[in-house]
Structures are given as structure tokens and as C-alpha cells.
Chains A and B, each alone.
Chain A
Amino acid sequence: MSGKHTLLDLTPREATAAREIALRYGNRADALLEILHDLQEHLGFVPEAALPALAKALNLSRAEVHGVVTFYHDYRREPAGRHVIKVCRAEACQSMGANELVSMIERFLKVKLGQTTADGAITVEAAYCLGNCALSPAVMVDDRLVGRVDAKKFEKIVAECRS
């Protein structure tokens, strides 16, 4: 039975998902960002194994697809925690104590920005502007924006993420 698998056979789920999503966009190479977003929403990340299938579907080289995946901050190469919290580090939030907020968050979650908590519940990342600059400091919990964040509000967010 062994010895006959190709790379695609070993990872049918990723490759199939990539092919299906690409097809939804008519296999158009200009839709690559949209395809990668959808793939990430579907699988939780953009697995290496999906890239050859994508390249083939869109008639691109693997290098071109790899180049796009690695250029954009949004695409993750490995799974994130169950929830992703983005913490704004840009100027408007800085003026309202974003740097102190980041320190507090790192102490509270016992991780650095870019890491996932030990229980796998939360990945915390830096963001550079969430467009909530009049209600700084801001964080985004998955797709939900939260303004005027302080320690108390943040602890409540974390409790919700872990429940």
C-alpha cells in the first residue's frame, strides 16, 4: 500500500479545498488574495501543502504564490489560537497608552505579541490602526472591534474567549 502516495495524496483536504475555492473565483490569478482569505477562513491558516494546487489552478508558478503568501501580514502559515486578538500599536492608540496596554496584555496572557497562549485559546498580534482612533486604545477580537480598552475590559474579553 505504501510508496505510491504523492504529496497531494498525503494532504487531500488542503489541496481539494484550494482547488475548490480557486474554482469559485473562476481560477483567476488576480483573485489570489481573495482565494487565500477564503482558504484561511476555511482551514484556519494557509498550509504549505495547498500552494502547489493553487499555483496549478491559477496557472502561476509556486514561487509566485509563495511570494504573495509571505508578503501579506494576514496570511498565517500555521494555525492560530481559537480566537485572535489584534492590539493596535499605531500613533493614535499610543497617545492613549497603547504601549502600556501591550505590556499589560503580555504580562496577563504570559505571551508576547505574535504568540498563542498555552491553552490555545488566544493568539495576540500587533495591528497598525484599526480605524477606531477617536476611541483609543483599540483591539479587535476576531472580527469585533473594541474601543477604550483598559485592563478591566481586556480581562473580560479574555474570559469570554476562554469560555
Chain B
Amino acid sequence: MSKVFVPRDSAARSVGADEVAAALAKLGHEVIRNGSRGLLFLEPLVEVETKDGRIAYGPVSVEDVASLPLATAGAHTLRLGNIEDHPYLKNQERLTFARCGITDPVSVADYVKHGGFAGLKKALGLAGSAIVAEVTESGLRGRGGAGFPTGIKWKTVHDARADQKYICCNADEGDSGTFADRMVMEGDPLMLIEGMTIAAIAVGATKGYVYIRSEYPDAIVTMREAVSAAIAAKWLGANIQGTDKSFHLEVRRGAGAYICGEETAMLESLEGKRGTVRPKPPIPALEGLFGKPTVINNVLSFAAVPFILAEGGAAYKNYGLGRSRGTLPFQLAGNIKQGGLVEKAFGVTLRELVETFGGGTFTGKPLRAIQVGGPLGAYVPASQLDLAMDYETFAAAGAMVGHGGIVVFDETVDMAAQARFAMEFCAIESCGKCTPCRIGSTRGVEVIDKIVAGEDRDANLELLSDLCQTMTDGSLCAMGGLTPMPVMSAIRHFPEDFDKPARLAAE
């Protein structure tokens, strides 16, 4: 019987991977539940180990299982060949996602066999300042969306004097169109543990938390399994690998509040409180969790660190464009034919991602808009597909790269409805601490309703623009501060959608 791989990733499970795995096991095959390769449009993807590498079939349904020629890895309508040669995978630059989909996510032995813990091993022999220097050299910027240089953040915490410091991982991946954090936690969680442990050694922290949103039950389970496995193998906990370094890691569940993805709201939540935003300063690097110096990074930031330590900051820096160094795992989502995870160096264009990798819209209708960077990111029109994906280029175009989420809409999208939704979402999820966000979002919904109804359109458009400016300038955090971005970009690029009654009257 053959050794076969069927992902345990929740996206794969959402289209029947469990049933396929069970059917394969029933036929007597040895089934390994790996992470997903990220070719989500081909899930459930079944791979069979051969002497010529792993041959893939997909998307496989339970009904297909009996007909798969796994013993010979032979021809079949679903046969994709050696998965490593698939253009979707082959044309990526996988530094962070190098292992995801290959290994059993919670097997330490598998992880080590595929290069895991090489970065931590190196870090254990370095001074904290040398680790920080390596991360600074890499040019890594915060992958949660803000793009703040990770090395500078770590140096601040390193230089702070305190009896206790903390490492907090923001895994509250609430942005629509993003799932890379989830894929790391479900597909290669030991990499996140390694990255956080390196951070702890670098800054002198002994305690850490992974704050995972409750909408990710599979990620929570896998992460907890991985933490136990890492502790059992002495890569986590007291006296890591027999050294004097210790790091204790706890997995915490969120409770359905989008705002807890904002770093200070997350700290409040980790302290067991309402997830309201804290004013800055003080910055969390100096006064963070329980008032102590705290490194807060996104999953993808920590996940980039093991490579940087193992291969050197310069190796990571070699990828990228301008001041955006390294790679970003982009997430192709929404109305797209070939949705999935595409890790590329910064500088790749939106067109390459959406057309070459993504294959255009799922419905086959013309593409009209793309929301990049989550619900607080701009709507980009089809005419701007040639924008290069890097922080500065996008900022100059009035948009943002954010967490690398790319949501495609076809021509049927109503952009006034999308703008209204942005305000509505902000009203639902605002923590309520500052007025521009709490009140502005509700007023925003009302004003957009008036505009769409044709009531005093010009005056109300001006009012909306003024309201957005107030929210941008006056909000305490990015929730209220960036909600105007999708709203105003929709008005700027798709004004015709805000003018419907006039057009109807004219017809």
C-alpha cells in the first residue's frame, strides 16, 4: 500500500479532505495529514510518495478515491504530476512557506528533518543584540499590515530594563481575504514557535502568548498540539536544549472581536479585559502586556525569523523591492478561479498575482475591483493591475498592501454597497473608545444611504468626504483611521455607482 498525504488544513477539510482521508485509510493506505500546499483551488489535494517525488491528484472527491492509481502513481484525469513542478508552486519564492504542505505539522522529527530549528539552534549561541542585528539586517517589516521594521521594535524591547518581558503573537487574523496566518498555524506551527522563541532569546523574555481568534478552531487545536510537542522535545519550556534559556508559551483564544487584532486591544484582551484600544504612547515595546516591555508581532513576522537566523539577514534581504525586503505570502481570494497562497518577493504586480497565478475571476466575468489588504484596504480598479506590490508603491497610490490579502470582484459588484459595508462593519466592530470611529461609522452608513437614494447628492458626498477626513485624523487606531480608505477609494474609482438614481432617471 502507498504512503499518501491529505491535508488537515481547515480549507482542505471544508471541501471534504477528512472524508477522502478516511476513504484512503479504509483502502489500507498509510495516510499522513500534512499542511496544505496552498493550492486551495485543488483541495482536497492527494499526494502519493514515489521514488520520483510526490505525485499529486486533485481536487479529489470521495467518489474518486477508488479509481486513483496510487500504487503506480499513474494516469488519471485528476493527475497533476509532481506537485513541486506545478507552475502555481514552482513560480513562487517560498521562504516562509517552504515546508508547509510537505510535513506532518506537529511532528518535531519531520520539522527538524526539513531544516526546522536551525535558526533557533543558531540563536541559542548568540547574544541577544546579535540576533536583533540579524533581524534588522534582513529588512523585515511587520507583516500584520503596518510594516514597522521588526528589528527596531525588537531593539526597543531588548534595550528596555524590566524584571519581566513578554512576546505576544497576534494571530487574530480577522481581515477578510487573509488566511496565511491560519495556514502557518495549521500547516507549520513549529515554525511560529521557533520564531517566537528566537524573539524571546533576543530580547530577554521568558513568557509568551499566541492570541488566536476563536473563528479558527482547527488552528487552536494544532497550535496547542505543536506547543506540547515542542515542549516534549525540549525546544520550548525550561532550559531549551539544555541551555540556560527558557521560554513558556501559552495559546489563548479570542472571542469574536475584530478589534482585538489591533495590538493594544489584543493586550487588553490578553489581560482578560474588554478589547478596547489603548492610547499610544506609551508604546507596547516599553509598556505592553501587564505594563511590561512586550514584542508584538504578527504570525508571518515571527514565521519569517527562523529563515533569517538560519540563512542570514542578507539572504532574506536579497528578495524584494525598494524598502520592502523579503517575501510576502499573498492570499488570492474571493471571486478568483485559482485561489490560494502565493509567496512572492515584494515587487510582483497585482496582475501577475490575479491573472497569472489566479487565472482571473471564478465566474469568468470581467474583473472590476480588487480589495487589497483587508476590509480597511482600498478598492483598486482593474486599470491599476500593474501596480507593484510593495508598501511604498501602494501607499503612493492611496492603497495599502496590508497583510497581503487580495479579494477579487467581478463586474456585478456594487461599489456603493461595498462602501456602505465598510462603514457598517466599522460600526459593528468599533470598540467604542473614540468618537470618530464609534459615531462616525454609523453616520457614514446613513450618509451613504442618502447619497445612494439621490438625496442632496453633492452636499452629502462632500459631507462624507469631510467625515472620512475626521475619522482618518481623529481616530485612536487603524479601525476608524482606515475605514475611510475602502470608502473613499470606491468613490474615487467608481463614482458611477454612487449616482444610480440619476442614471436610472436618465435612461
Contact = CB atoms under 8 A, between A and B. Distances in A.
The size bracket of the interface on A is 35 or more
Given A34-B252, A146-B14, A71 B274 contact: yes
A91 B334 contact: yes
Given A91-B407, A133-B177, A133-B331, A96 B11 contact: no
A119 interface: no
A92 B176 contact: yes
B215 A129 contact: yes
A23 to B, nearest CB: 15
Contacts of B175: 129
Interface stretch (B194-202, B265-273, B315-323, B344-352): B265-273
A133 B179 contact: yes
B256 interface: yes
B182 interface: yes
Given A129-B174, A133-B176, A92 B407 contact: yes
Nearest to A143: B217
B253 interface: yes
Contacts of B333: 92, 133-134, 136
A95 B13 contact: no
A6 B86 CA distance: 68
Interface stretch (B408-416, B446-454, B491-499): B408-416
B375 interface: yes
A71 B275 contact: yes
Nearest to B362: A96
Contacts of B332: 134
Nearest to B405: A133
Nearest to B289: A30
Given A132-B11, A134-B41, A95 B409 contact: yes
**Interface footprint category on B:** 35 or more
Interface stretch (B113-121, B335-343, B380-388): B335-343
A148 B334 CA distance: 11
A153 to B, nearest CB: 10
A30 B166 CA distance: 14
Most buried by B among A58, A129, A144: A129
B178 A131 contact: yes
B272 A131 contact: no
Q: Interface centre among A74, A86, A93, by most B CB within 10 Å?
A: A74
Interface string A130-157: 1111111010100111111000000000
A131 B182 contact: yes
A111 interface: no
In the A-B complex, the 5 residue pairs with the smallest Cβ-Cβ separation, listed nearest first, are A134-B339, A90-B176, A133-B333, A72-B255, A73-B256
Given A30-B272, A72-B256, A92-B334, 7 more contacts: A95-B407, A132-B11, A133-B177, A133-B333, A135-B14, A135-B40, A136-B335
23 contacts: A32-B272, A33-B252, A33-B255, A34-B252, A72-B256, A86-B215, A91-B371, A91-B418, A92-B333, A96-B335, A127-B215, A130-B215, A131-B10, A132-B10, A132-B179, A133-B177, A133-B334, A133-B339, A135-B11, A135-B43, A143-B218, A144-B14, A145-B11
